[in-house]
Structure 1
Amino acid sequence: MRVVLTTWGSRGDVEPLAGLAVALRGLGAETVVCAPGDDDFVELLARAGVAHMPLGPTVRSVVAGPKPPGAAAAFKLAPELVAARFETLARAAEDGCDAILATGLMPAGARDVADKLGVRYVLACFHLLGLPSQFSAPGRRPGTPSPEGETDNRKLWQQDAERVNALYGPALNEHRAAIGLPPVDNVRDYVFTGSPWLAADPVLLPSEGMTDLDVVQTGAWILPDDRPLPDGLEAFLDAGAPPVYVGFGSMAAYAPKDIAGVAIEAARKHGRRVVLASGWAGLSAIDDGGDCFVVGEVNQQALFRRVAAVVHHGGAGTTTTSARAGVAQVVVPQIADQPSWAARTAELGIGVAHEGSTPTVDSLSAALATALDPQMRARAEAVATTIRPDGAAVAARMLLDGASAAA
């Protein structure tokens, strides 16, 4: 059996697909991951032994500028990604394909290729943001804004669907016509289907009754990582009390201003050393003090068990890895689903949701004071025992069983 997996987005969108691909391989299935060709992702998929086919522009070329991309960039990117999916996914399926699973930034084009091939299609997501719900309003999306003062969630979600149509509809229907498929009049709902999969842990993100769709929750898709920590980092960890980890992952233009200096000074107020992840923002030490160790790509699963707290942006992957490690978190959310992860860690008592996206030394020091309290560590360790480790295996079995039934 052969499965095509596809995404376009940050590492938090790519690494779970690598985890799912490894689980599928363990069940005897062949996979190919169609994802951006950023060097980080190429190396990640190669390490996992997963076949990779580049799709669309690199993510860094879009998001790593001095400012976050605006609406004009979104309207340029949307048709480019649609075209890339029609071309790349069809090429990935040339040697046979039994199912296509898509995730990441509105994967318009993936279901269309599956329909043309007559194979199973699954839409997966890593959070609930963007799924229509009578209980919440949609997030921001480029396009015509909703009328000021509109509070009816049904109307707001309808207007969200109209914005998706404006972004993706013309290109999608042009490519559909080229392969003999009829037009789609609601791109968002067509892409989502009525039963999207949610690849998130049910303790960290309960989903029952939270959306208008019939969500299938599998648990988080975790790529096992057995890499040793670098020798220098091992020596740093062994040289004193557990440090504070600070990292903002794929946040480039969105990283808080002067976050490296703010975080290092806040940790010093508590007598703590810092492991600073450079990430896409290129964070670096602020002086020659020996209390800060800068890392690039590293095994977070191993590292987080060795630190006193994790300060991060609130991505789904970092939140889940921290929770599994049983370490307290300070979440400084920037965009998208990050505020909801921050709120949930605080609700569970395993972390602190920083108020505002740009911390000061005092505000981050106050948050660290709570996170470094032994009671929060104990709570984080207790919650860690409830996090499911088998989400990728569950999804892999479901995907293969469903593909077999559809054949």
Structure 2
Amino acid sequence: MRVLLSTIGSRGEVQPVLALASELRALGQDVRLCVPPDFRDRLEGLGFDVVPIGPALRRTTLEQVRKSAGDTVATQFETITVAAEGCDVLVAAGALQFAARSIAERMGAAYVYAAFCPITLPSERHAPPPMPWRSPGETDNLALWREDAQRWNTMFGGRVDAFRAAAGQEPVDDLPGHVFTDRPWLAADAALAPWPGDPRVVQTGAWIWPDERPLPDELREFLDAGEPPVYFGFGSMHAPAEVAGIALEAARAHGRRAVVARGWAGLAVVDAPGCLGIGEVNQQALFRRVAAVVHHGGAGTTTTAARAGAPQVVVPQMYDQHYFAGRVTALGLGAATEPGVPTVAALTEALDTALRSHAAAREFAGRVRGDGTSVAARHLLETVPLTSA
């Protein structure tokens, strides 16, 4: 079977797609990846066939993403059509997947939509992710999801229907329902991010790529030279430059050293004793050796820290990060700050809570499953060829 795995997200969406691709390849399947160009070299280095889609995200600001949102429909139809040639199934993972199902229908291929966070899938039991344009004061979950659907249909529905009409396909009345299908997948750990009971959703567990890279010598020597430090990182978020200095002050307030991941923000790490700046490393290995993980609340980082038994401080910025901030707090795995850039006092206080959550975080680690990727791969091979797009 030939499978196309498609995502237009950053590392938090590409990494789980890589995990599923690796598992499917190990099971003898032919896999192609359609991902942003930022990840092409790395994935091709792992032996995958890669079709790049869209602009390089590392050089794209959030405001540019908003302004070019309409262009993504055309980009997806053009690029995924080429990438999907000869494929038996298309798996669209993550947000804003507008074209894959229409392309699957044209080609007679199967189609699966997979989300990485429960609140990105509609349910009467939760509201959609917080967004600036939400109706003020509205608390009815279904009303908020209807508002979301109307916005999708208004902003993107016409563009999608134009491409469908050109291929002789019927228009789509409900774009979110069309994208998600009536049986979407949820690639999230059931203990950390449970689906609230609706049996139509297939919760596979998180797709975790087993990272076996050794830590860089400089980082390993830093870790060996003292007590476990506090890790600070904001992944693919374009975090403000002052975050690095705030992080170091918060760590010092607790007598801790700091490891600061430069990330896509290119954080300028303070040149001071007890502080080490790092690039992209094996988080699975690193998080087992730190006192706490301070991060933006992406699904991948939250899951990796939880699985490592590391206490967490979530500093949410947008979208599903608010959900994971709430889960970390509710589960007693640490604390969360207000969205945006925290003050030194706020981050110091949250870090105090996290450092006192060590025992709870270690206990919870045993509840985070590591077989979500194999569950998803088996489910794909056993059921998807029997379904239609």
User: Would you call these one fold, judging by a TM-score over 0.5?
Assistant: yes
Partners of 1:54 and 1:243 in 2: CA distance: 37
**Kept in 1: contact 2:95–2:115 (CA 8 A):** no
Aligned-pair CA distance for 1:93: 2.6
- Of the candidates 57, 66, 74, which is equivalent to residue 55 of structure 2? 57
If the length of structure 1 is used for normalisation, what is the TM-score? Answer: 0.90
Q: Deviations over 1:46-90 (max 9, x none)?
A: 354322110122223432xxxx317xx536323x22222222222
Query: Within 5 A, what are the aligned runs for 1:119-268?
Result: 119-140=109-130, 148-209=136-197, 214-252=200-238, 255-256=239-240, 258-268=242-252
More displaced 10-residue stretch of structure 1: 124-133 or 316-325? 124-133
Partners of 2:164 and 2:373 in 1: CA distance: 32
Which letter does structure 2 place at the counterpart of 1:49? G
Q: Which runs of no fewer than 5 residues in structure 2 stay unpaired?
A: none
Q: 1:161 to 1:236 in 2, by over 3 A?
A: same
- Of the candidates 275, 280, 283, which is equivalent to residue 259 of structure 2? 275
Q: 1:349 to 1:86 in 2, by over 3 A?
A: same
Partner of 1:10: 10
More displaced 10-residue stretch of structure 1: 236-245 or 51-60? 51-60
Q: Deviations over 1:273-317 (max 9, x none)?
A: 11100001111222x312111111101111111111100010000
Aligned-pair CA distance for 1:208: 3.0
Q: 1:149 to 1:268 in 2, by over 3 A?
A: closer
Identity %: 52
- Of the candidates 289, 297, 300, which is equivalent to residue 314 of structure 1? 297
Which letter does structure 1 place at the counterpart of 2:159? A
Query: Within 5 A, what are the aligned runs for 1:374-385?
Result: 376-385=357-366
Partner of 1:77: 69
RMSD across aligned positions (CA): 1.9
Aligned-pair CA distance for 1:365: 1.3
Partners of 2:221 and 2:136 in 1: CA distance: 56
Q: Deviations over 1:328-374 (max 9, x none)?
A: 1111111111111011111111121223432111221111122222x
**Kept in 2: contact 1:4–1:99 (CA 8 A):** yes
Aligned-pair CA distance for 1:10: 1.4
Q: 1:347 to 1:47 in 2, by over 3 A?
A: farther
**Kept in 1: contact 2:115–2:121 (CA 8 A):** no
Partner of 1:21: 21
Aligned length: 388
Q: 1:147 to 1:250 in 2, by over 3 A?
A: closer
Aligned-pair CA distance for 1:380: 1.1
Q: Which runs of no fewer than 5 residues in structure 1 stay unpaired?
A: none
Which letter does structure 2 place at the counterpart of 1:243? P
Partner of 1:353: 336
Q: 1:77 to 1:385 in 2, by over 3 A?
A: same
Q: 1:350 to 1:97 in 2, by over 3 A?
A: same
